[in-house]
Amino acid sequence: MISTDGLLAAGAAPIIAILRGLRPEEAVDIGRALVDAGIRLIEVPLNSPDPFASIARLQEAFGDHAMIGAGTVLDTAAVERLAATGARLMVTPNTDPEVIACGLAHGLEVVPGFLTPSEAFAAIKAGARRLKLFPASEQSTGYLRALLDVVPRDVGIWAVGGVTPENASGWLAAGAQGVAVWTALYQSGASPADVSARAKALVTAIAHR
């Protein structure tokens, strides 16, 4: 079964592409642009049009060599629907132990959102081993370094919110396991060619950090 650790070890870029606003009919073409550029972690936020249909199409097309999933997962009903698609990535904007536990019970790779140390440790206690620092744009790389001094070494922190090709390498240099990127990669209505160009630029920026 594909895993985040396996993808990163195999050389996939440490980037989660956030496809907020994605429509099902464009999902495969946009997904292909990302995968071909080296981005193998893709989330469709659940406040997108018909998100589970997009997730199912992405999973069918790329699930063998990319990790597909949902973002903005807020309750256990959404976790159940996500698991039914066969997708494996679950990203939340908050720390909800019940949602985290439900995701883990379904074998999902859970990445709950947190901002404070208390939220981080609540997520870890619930079983999460990857955390989403959100919104990262409101903090600093120094804040991340301070968090990494106290969280367990087997817990990875991903910077999310305001990440761009210009600052992504700074977050990684500070110790982030990866970053998640929205508008610098995809905006509703963007063409596959545009997404491809943005994805390649971001992957290149990280590779040369």
Instruction: Provide the annotated active-site residues.
Output: 43, 132
CA atoms of 168 and 170, how far apart (whole Å): 5
Answer whether 205's CB lies under 8 Å from 165's CB.
yes
Answer whether 19's CB lies under 8 Å from 30's CB.
yes
Closest of 172, 178, 82 to residue 130, by C-alpha: 178
Alpha helices by DSSP H, the chain? 4-9, 27-37, 51-62, 76-84, 97-105, 117-125, 141-148, 168-173, 192-207
Closest of 67, 136, 133, 129 to residue 100, by C-alpha: 129
CA atoms of 208 and 64, how far apart (whole Å): 28
SS3 6: helix
